[in-house]
Structure 1
Amino acid sequence: MYRLKEVVAGSSLALLMVLGIMGFNVTPLVLLLALIGTFYFFIQSQGGLKLKNAGQGVKISSPISFADIGGQDTAVKELQEALQFIVKAEEIAQMGIRPLKGVLLVGPPGTGKTLLARAAAAYTSSSFIAASGGEFVEIYAGVGARRIRQLFQDARKKASGEKSKSAIIFIDELEVLGAKRGTHSSHMEYDQTLNQLLVEMDGIDSRVEPRVLVIGATNRADMLDPALLRPGRFDRQVQVNLPDREGRRRILDIHTRNKPLADPKVLDEIARATFGFSGAHLESLANEAAILALREDVSLIESHHFSEAVNKVIMGEKLQRRPSEAELRRVAVHESGHAIVSETVEPGSVSSLTIVPRGRALGFLRKAPRDDQYLYTLDEMEKQIMIMLAGAVAEELVLEDRSTGARNDFEQAWEKARQIVETGLSSLGVVNGDDLPSRLLYEECKEILQRMEDKTRIILNNSRDILNTLSATIIEEENMDRNRFYEIFNPGSYQA
């Protein structure tokens, strides 16, 4: 290839010299060749540089084992089973089992899909190459397909250089590269790149060393082209879900094993309080707790550091700006309304209350930790709606009008009402959400919200004295823990 380039370059230069000697004006030809050369080398640099990066991908500075990944026992078990064709290649061949060519990791962001792929490489003693789906798509036709070919070549070359019998290619954000063909009508580069990936996966021969396994990761499996998901391509889909409480506890153990804790038992409470957190969230939480302890110049991480870190991960850092006195009172009334209704319909649910601005929120009610819950009754969902509406209703009762601060509450309440309808818990009975007329859905959701708002208003009307006292106290103290809240609110005095 390089020899041909040298011949073409030398011949072109000689031709220009001959034409110049013969008296021809070669300036236009020189400019044209310079333009062509510049464009050619630009394309080469675009392809070559990205190929190099894609071939290197994620460098494993220290091997990661499956034991280092908490809260994903089911995913680890499924992935280990899929890797047996590499670990026990001879036994697999004797049983006549067709080895897998691809494994797809599906789950929300931050759940550990990249860590699972890296652990798979260590588990099978395979060479590891990682890339992102976005690295293979360019505006120039054929560049992405070339990068795919180069990626597989690099994987085999790296395995041979490391004297490994297998190689794992990890492609993150696979939905960018493998989206359904025809969805990108602007140009065909996406489809060409996907076609090349399909061809390369078809060309994987498990009888030839080094064996190649493709591991893809996505949180949008619904966007992938069906050709990628058929048997012989990504044969196995492994669900990587958010961890349960026990899983969160193990993840916290992993991320705090190098941190000095005043009392390790606090991790049990934090695991309970962080329902819905991913592994990445928990790692950030442990790190933020350590940073807070460092700011206070203490040598041990205390319980209140973790509590503050939970608030920071959920809501963001405290803001320096302070609302006006009128805004501060409105926020205090709003959050007090949430707290009173929450404690009334769900006794023991209030953990803390604050009107210190964080992120985009001017105040925040933190509920007490409960066991993980995945199913809800109609009564439980209606109580959640009442808590969501309580802030705006409290503003209306005390300040005689509402504000834009309740927008997020209203959005969540409407979504919850819609969920009631679509799960067959409303007066409409069992329905199909897709076939339900939009007007009927709107009227049913509106009726649910109106009923819950009326119930909420009754509770707050019966608790006006507590509402006034609580909002005045939180203005003075800014933060209120559970004990302080119970000094003002007697949970046995008011009924829903």
Structure 2
Amino acid sequence: MRKYSLELLIGFFPVLLLFLIYMGVNVLPFVFLAVIAAAVLYTAQGRGKLTALTGGKSRNEVKAAPFSFDQIGGQERAKEELVEALDFLVKRDKIEKLGIRPLKGILLAGPPGTGKTLLAKAAAHYTDSIYLAASGSEFVEMYVGVGAGRVRDLFKEARTKAKKAGKSSAVIFIDEIEVIGGKRDGGQHREYDQTLNQLLTEMDGIHANESPRILLIAATNRKEMLDGALLRPGRFDRHIGVELPDKKGRQHILSIHAANKPLEDSVSLERLAEQTYSFSGAQLESVMNEAAIYAMREACELIAERHFLMAIDKVMLGEKTDRETSEEERRRVALHELGHAIMAELVRPGSVSQVALSPRGGALGYVRHQPQQDQYLYTKPFLNGQIRITLAGAAAEEMFYGDRSTGSRGDFDQAVNIVKTLVESGLTSLGIIHASMMTPESWAAITKEVLDEQMLAAKALLEERRDIFAAALETLLKEESLDGETFRRLMRSGEAA
């Protein structure tokens, strides 16, 4: 009926204009008013720039292949916590008997690439729910009120799609929630604040007896930025940490991604899990993919362990480059890397896996270390040893050239970060102190104190081992790469000399 009324109105308007022109009436004001009315109507119906969803189009439901928790590796604890929370949607009769309020929101917090989005997809499959996904940046526009409108439409659309599909629940996933959920500064006229206020209102409106039920899952790698009103119980009831996987988790992830790849019998996923210390799930998937690419380049039917080692180096440092360096520059780089390697062996014997002069990514050379045990607590001697390893390259350059080069810039960044850890853990001469109490001048002073002390210690240790540089330098320049055993043999011969 509405369609026919609109057609009659469209047909009547030109006739009315012709009649008024025939009667000698000035029709320009009427035309102008009609254009304004049409524009307002166009916007109000959800088709203009100021609408909540761009172009008036509704968000497409994510229709992917069923994705289960078994397909996610390395996050057993996070999966257990999430499944327990999701059971409030699945086992309704049980929770009603116990008088449990269903959860309204689940926050997944952790570093990038750890599987937060995959967990949300698996949650929708586990609960047999409609799944809608969005990014926090999609809700922020230059127009006031657009973000709030988009939040309203997202929740409304989730309910509509769930009813249409005959589902009893819907899962909304918002990635990068910190974009719209950041801490408010007290003003109420910012677009970000209006969007956050609308999100808070929508979450408050999710009642236990409402059908279909809406579960909001959000992901962030900067939880400390989120507003307190968003984090309180009744909004995000569960905060689940999705951390970097341990060795067992890394092996599980590698086995999942190796399922469709032909590996040589000698390949050990356990050894690869050891070699990929502190890698995220996304990095591990990339290692598997890059190893297959290396095998394809060499026309190999099976992926060998050497392909995985090359892939690990690529993920960590970048692809090899064709950058050509002068003989003097190669010698400086070789001494720099030998400084790192010798100090690493002194701090942690047997830790060097490879010393290479191959330009890779932004580095002209690198030292790859043997895998270390997963470690979560660090002592002051351990961290000071790590600082000496990072400074040893620059110390070696000063020993043989009397100055340093720009090649130490990345090393210094690592050293400064370790100093920050020492300060925040109360392991410096400042004692126990909160980072907020530190001024830029005090940071500079304590950083200089610690780095100068460790630089002197590194130089003293390397000076005692000048013969090792002489024993290993020419071999490294000739071979361009030394494995750990060869380097340690050269180191022993240098010490004997």
Please show how residues 267-306 of structure 1 align to structure 2 within 5 Å.
Answer: 267-306=269-308
Please show how residues 5-24 of structure 1 align to structure 2 within 5 Å.
Answer: 17=18, 20-21=21-22, 23=24
Q: Does 1:94 align with 2:97?
A: yes
Work out the CA distance in 1 between the residues paired with 2:67 and 2:204: 29
Contact 1:102 1:236 in 2 (8 A): yes
Deviation at 1:426, TM superposition (A): 2.3
Contact 2:178 2:222 in 1 (8 A): yes
SS at match of 2:99: coil
Partner residue in 1 for 2:197: 195
Distance 1:249 1:50, change over 3 A: farther
The amino acid that maps onto 1:453 is: M
Residue 139 of structure 2: which of 125, 130, 136 is its match? 136
Q: Does 1:403 align with 2:405?
A: yes
TM-score, structure 1 normalization: 0.91
Q: Does 1:349 align with 2:358?
A: no
Which deviates more from structure 2 when the two are superposed, residues 421-430 or residues 400-409?
421-430
Residue 168 of structure 2: which of 140, 152, 165 is its match? 165
Q: Deviations over 1:37-81 (max 9, x none)?
A: 679758725447548777325332x11111111111111111111
Which ranges of structure 2 fall in alignment gaps of 5 or more residues?
none
Work out the CA distance in 1 between the residues paired with 2:437 and 2:346: 37
Partner residue in 2 for 1:123: 126
Work out the CA distance in 1 between the residues paired with 2:329 and 2:53: 54
Partner residue in 2 for 1:453: 455
Contact 1:272 1:370 in 2 (8 A): yes
Which deviates more from structure 2 when the two are superposed, residues 170-179 or residues 414-423?
414-423
Contact 1:318 1:357 in 2 (8 A): yes
Distance 1:463 1:98, change over 3 A: same
Partner residue in 1 for 2:71: 68
Partner residue in 2 for 1:58: 62
Q: Does 1:150 align with 2:169?
A: no
Partner residue in 2 for 1:253: 255
Contact 2:355 2:368 in 1 (8 A): yes
Partner residue in 2 for 1:481: 483
Work out the CA distance in 1 between the residues paired with 2:58 and 2:371: 43
Distance 1:430 1:201, change over 3 A: closer
The amino acid that maps onto 2:350 is: G
Work out the CA distance in 1 between the residues paired with 2:471 and 2:37: 78
Contact 1:145 1:193 in 2 (8 A): yes
Deviation at 1:462, TM superposition (A): 2.1
Which deviates more from structure 2 when the two are superposed, residues 480-489 or residues 47-56?
47-56
The amino acid that maps onto 2:376 is: Y
The amino acid that maps onto 1:70 is: G
Contact 2:465 2:495 in 1 (8 A): no
Deviation at 1:232, TM superposition (A): 1.6
Partner residue in 1 for 2:376: 374
Work out the CA distance in 2 between the residues paired with 1:195 and 1:4: 39
Contact 2:47 2:56 in 1 (8 A): no
Partner residue in 1 for 2:87: 84
Partner residue in 1 for 2:388: 386
Q: Deviations over 1:255-307 (max 9, x none)?
A: 11111111375211111121211111111111111111111111111111111
Which ranges of structure 1 fall in alignment gaps of 5 or more residues?
none
The amino acid that maps onto 1:67 is: D
Distance 1:465 1:223, change over 3 A: same
The amino acid that maps onto 2:157 is: D
Contact 1:63 1:122 in 2 (8 A): yes
Distance 1:14 1:79, change over 3 A: farther
Contact 2:48 2:56 in 1 (8 A): no
Distance 1:291 1:16, change over 3 A: same
TM-score, structure 2 normalization: 0.91
Q: Number of aligned residue pairs: give it.
A: 492
Work out the CA distance in 2 between the residues paired with 1:419 and 1:23: 85
Partner residue in 2 for 1:318: 320
Deviation at 1:377, TM superposition (A): 1.4
Distance 1:123 1:23, change over 3 A: same
SS at match of 2:47: helix
Deviation at 1:383, TM superposition (A): 1.1
Contact 1:106 1:238 in 2 (8 A): yes
SS at match of 1:489: helix
Partner residue in 1 for 2:427: 425
